[in-house]
Structure 1
Amino acid sequence: MATGTADTTATREPARPPERPAPRGRVLTGLVAGLLGTALVVLATRLFTLGVEDNGDGYRLFCGAGLTPLTADGYASWRGGWTTDFAVGPPACDEPVPSSALLLARATTLLTPDTWSPVALGWAYALLVGLVVGLGAWAASAAGRRRALVVAIPVLPLAAATFPRFFVSTYSEPAGLLGCVTTAVGVAALLVTRPEHRAARGVALALTAVGGLVATTAKVAYLPVLGAAVLACAVVAVGVRRPRIAGPVVALVTALLAVAPVAAALERQEEFYAPVNAHNLVFTTVLLEVGPSATSPLGLPPDAVALTGNGYFNGPPRPDGVPWWEGAVLGRPNETRSAAWLVLAEHPAAAARALGVGLQATTLADLPYLDALPAAASAPSSPDGHPGWSGARQPDLAQVLADTRRPPWLPTALVVGALAAAATARWQGRAGRWSLAAGLAAATALGLVVVAVAGDGYFEIFKHVWLAAYLLALSGLCLLGGVTTALFARWRARGGE
């Protein structure tokens, strides 16, 4: 009986696999990694002298933080550089854009109650990047000190000013980048740790989930980042006893926490920008790619073809007062937008071309039309931007795309390669983890491009797919890591000859 009881207990509670002792100095590893992460952002932005010129979107954010540009005309947009100083006061608008970036901007104004500069925001983002990297390195080092190096992969793209210069700006994009980096660091730590590393995986899960929430609440168009975070959390096992539900529970809680802010952001987008988005989708993309035959399904007369390629802003004058335009765009924007999606679904070749343009736009993520250096306070503000770079007029947009010397096919090839690598990860040995990370980053980037094109057509396409460019850079680095791992494993199998 005693033997039988012991056997039953052993069946119900299997012996835990032997755990390796956690490496010493993990806290120090995290501290060093965090300092290096912050230093990278500081150096990449040249001590925060590089930022991003406001294209008019910044007001939606800084008005809610109570900031007023200290410029000669009181405006911050299109001044040939970014505004360096703002007066701090009460909010200047009743309905600022709901964004996690707004919360951070408001927090930094508490440290500078009189005059505020985007440099303060840059420091805040740099310190937060360092915090994320430090936590991720601590978590990853549970599997071995060298494994902590994996968190460098999501941070390496920040060495190019293309991405961290947005930290010195009044856009919502930098909070999206911070969230994306946070999720990527969390996923990296999850991939190198094992289920028995409970504390480490708990921290990695928290990073993954919080990053998805920060990105999606920065801009609702970044919803694919939340999807990637929820998916990553849902498939993670924590602990060796069943049921191992920590990962799925975190995924569910993360999704539920996002419902209210996402719904509020979508409602605000519909209230303020539904006609703008419908116009841009129809005239900058659908009519351009499908042709005049699309006018009838869209409920437009043949005369509408004359507006093909023209955006709502920054392009030729809108046809205000024209009955068919005011009816389709101003009167029933949601119906017109739905009809535009249906037309694209019925013309897959046109939809593929539109998606290809969105992916090609990621090769120009440096956004040279938005100046990086500070503007003089006396510089006047211009009401207009560049019609080609803003995607507001053809053939200017096509010319911008044609002028770049960067391979237009590279982003598409990268996405296809990364997804194929992820699909075959189970047969790749240790390189499979790299392939899974590459596939997740590429799929998320593709989702961001789809949302950008389907939401606002080609208008501001370069800026709208900017975060996707970061993810594609991350995907490429992961593919490189996978190839290196596979070659090293093959070399070791041959005896290191």
Structure 2
Amino acid sequence: MATGTADATDTLPSSGPTSDGRPSGRVPLGIGAGLAATLLVVLALRLFSGRPLGVEDNGDGYRLFCGAGLTPLTADGYASWRGGWTTDFAVGPPTCPDPVPSSALVIARATTLVSGGTWSPTALGWAYAVLVGLVVGLAAWAASAGGRRRGLAVAVPVLPLAAATFPRFFVSTYSEPAGLLGCVTTAVGVAALLVTRREHRAERVVALVLTAAGGLVATTAKVAYIPVLAAAIGVCALVAVGVRRPHRVGPAIAVVTALLAVAPVLAALERQAQFYAPVNAHNLVFTTTLLEMGPTATSALGLPPEAAALTGNGYFNGPPRPDGVAWWEGAILQRPSETRNAALLLLAEHPATAARAVGVGLQATTLADLPYLDSSPATFEAPSSPDGHPGWSGARQPDLAQVLDDTRRPPWLPSALVLLALVAAATARWQGRAARWSLAAGLAAGTALALIVVAVAGDGYFEMFKHAWLAAYLLAVSGLCLAGAAVTALAVPLIARRSRARGEGAQG
């Protein structure tokens, strides 16, 4: 999920080592890297300007900001679908008894403590920028243990944040920004692990804690981000620390992280089943399973033939639901778990169809800029509209297909990138100094693929573009790592040849 360093630089000496062999000046390097990462986010979001970039609320924001005691200061008291993001909120006691449990809520509540009675999502933007700088600074310090150039390894997971596509969620009332923060934290932690050695005990422990903490923050932001936690735990379990007894710290951190995640993950799954089981079942069946398999699949799902008329229609934002129709209420409202399980089993029995559905999810990562969610601040006078774009929300066909067809970006590119990264990781042992880059690329791509699988299995094509957004970030990291592997594979032999030529010239 992060990168190794360009090992061609290992042939160059590091200046000023300390008595234990570690280079000097590492603390200033870490501070500088952290400040640079913070500044990168600040500039990408235009936080110094009067019109910073953010993300319009699609209705999901209330489930989180109500728990922080925030009330939109708008003409109608709502914040969703206003043609921009709401800039001002009043701060008070929580306005709902059951806000969505999320690490994003913890961060939002913390920023309200210094609000002075009114609050803006720009406060979140600044908070996330500082948090990104903090984790990057720690990771850069750890990564530089074997040489200051190695501290540059943490730059790769940070580079995608230069595009507003990803950090603009930091200025929003969604759970996604905490998911991105967790993903970045895990990524820079893995970067530090890849470029340090087992004798760098303190540095590797710091990197392991970052890796594990990032997985926890991401998964407790949204339970659909659990692949990030799985990747973090897997990495920690495989990392050795120390020379004499190298197999204790990493696995111990992996076990502790897994135990800490059990309660919040189970609570989130229980809440999802309690509030959204019918929604998820409807979306999986009608926006994906029947759409991909055709009307003949109704019988295998326990539905009558007339159910095929709803194919392509989401629970929200699509044509009106068939409330009062006995078969729909029975299958969706009364038995959502059974219906959803039948849909998943049917997809598992037809792997080509399942792969095509995952391919659609991967294609959605090419539109991670989510233009249907406005980046500009909304005006106070603009009333909230009832819903968003049915195509971008994945709630109605043929609108969804039209959105996918209209993009000028190659639809096959994400799938090809995932395949290439996984092959590169599988063959890393034969790649010499490019191996760490390839392992990082494969980890990032594999985690992105898992995020897409969870998204499709959880809610079908509904809101697929937004659900695929974090996977798009990981694919960007994976692509940069593959580029690093290619450059290393070409640069190392060239440097070796030049070194031999200089040596032969000196002898001559």
TM-score by length of 2: 0.93
1:115 has 2:88 as partner: no
Q: Which moved more, 1:43-52 or 1:437-446?
A: 43-52
Query: How far apart, in 1, do the equivalents of 2:246 and 2:53 lie?
Result: 50
Select 2:147's aligned residue among 141, 144, 149: 144
1:311-326 aligned at under 5 Å gives the runs 311-326=314-329
Query: How far apart, in 1, do the equivalents of 2:20 and 2:55 lie?
Result: 48
1:197 has 2:195 as partner: no
Select 1:395's aligned residue among 384, 394, 398: 398
1:66-465 aligned at under 5 Å gives the runs 66-242=69-245, 244-465=247-468
In the alignment, is the contact (CA less than 8 A) between 2:199 and 2:241 conserved in 1?
A: yes
Q: Deviation of residue 243 (structure 1)?
A: 5.0
Q: Deviation of residue 20 (structure 1)?
A: 5.5
The SS at the match of 1:495 is helix
Aligned partner of 1:474 in structure 2 is 477
The aligned amino acid for 1:361 is A
**RMSD of equivalent CA atoms:** 1.1
In the alignment, is the contact (CA less than 8 A) between 1:290 and 1:347 conserved in 2?
A: no
Query: How far apart, in 2, do the equivalents of 1:404 and 1:244 lie?
Result: 48
Query: How far apart, in 1, do the equivalents of 2:175 and 2:343 lie?
Result: 27
Q: Which moved more, 1:470-479 or 1:45-54?
A: 45-54
The SS at the match of 1:87 is strand
Aligned partner of 2:29 in structure 1 is 29
Q: How big is each residue's C-alpha offset from its partner over 1:104-154, in whole Å with a ceiling of 9 and x where there is no partner?
A: 000000010300000001000000000011000000010100100010000
In the alignment, is the contact (CA less than 8 A) between 1:208 and 1:233 conserved in 2?
A: yes
Q: Which moved more, 1:20-29 or 1:116-125?
A: 20-29
Query: How far apart, in 2, do the equivalents of 1:279 and 1:429 lie?
Result: 49
1:59 has 2:101 as partner: no
**Aligned residues: percent identity?**
80
Aligned partner of 1:11 in structure 2 is none
Q: Which has the higher contact order (CA 8 A, sep 6+)?
A: 2
The SS at the match of 2:440 is helix
Show structure 1 runs of 5+ residues with no match: 1-18
Query: How far apart, in 2, do the equivalents of 1:158 and 1:243 lie?
Result: 35
Aligned partner of 1:4 in structure 2 is none
In the alignment, is the contact (CA less than 8 A) between 1:68 and 1:74 conserved in 2?
A: yes
Q: Deviation of residue 21 (structure 1)?
A: 1.2
Q: Deviation of residue 494 (structure 1)?
A: 2.2
Q: How big is each residue's C-alpha offset from its partner over 1:417-471, in whole Å with a ceiling of 9 and x where there is no partner?
A: 0000000111111100000000000000000000000000000000001000000
The aligned amino acid for 1:369 is Y
Aligned partner of 2:13 in structure 1 is none
In the alignment, is the contact (CA less than 8 A) between 2:198 and 2:246 conserved in 1?
A: no
Aligned partner of 1:46 in structure 2 is 46
Residues 485 and 243 of structure 1, relative CA distance in 2, 3 Å threshold: closer
- Count residues with an aligned counterpart: 480
Query: How far apart, in 2, do the equivalents of 1:220 and 1:230 lie?
Result: 15
The SS at the match of 2:491 is helix
Q: Which moved more, 1:75-84 or 1:484-493?
A: 484-493
The aligned amino acid for 2:309 is A
Q: How big is each residue's C-alpha offset from its partner over 1:4-28, in whole Å with a ceiling of 9 and x where there is no partner?
A: xxxxxxxxxxxxxxx9611111110
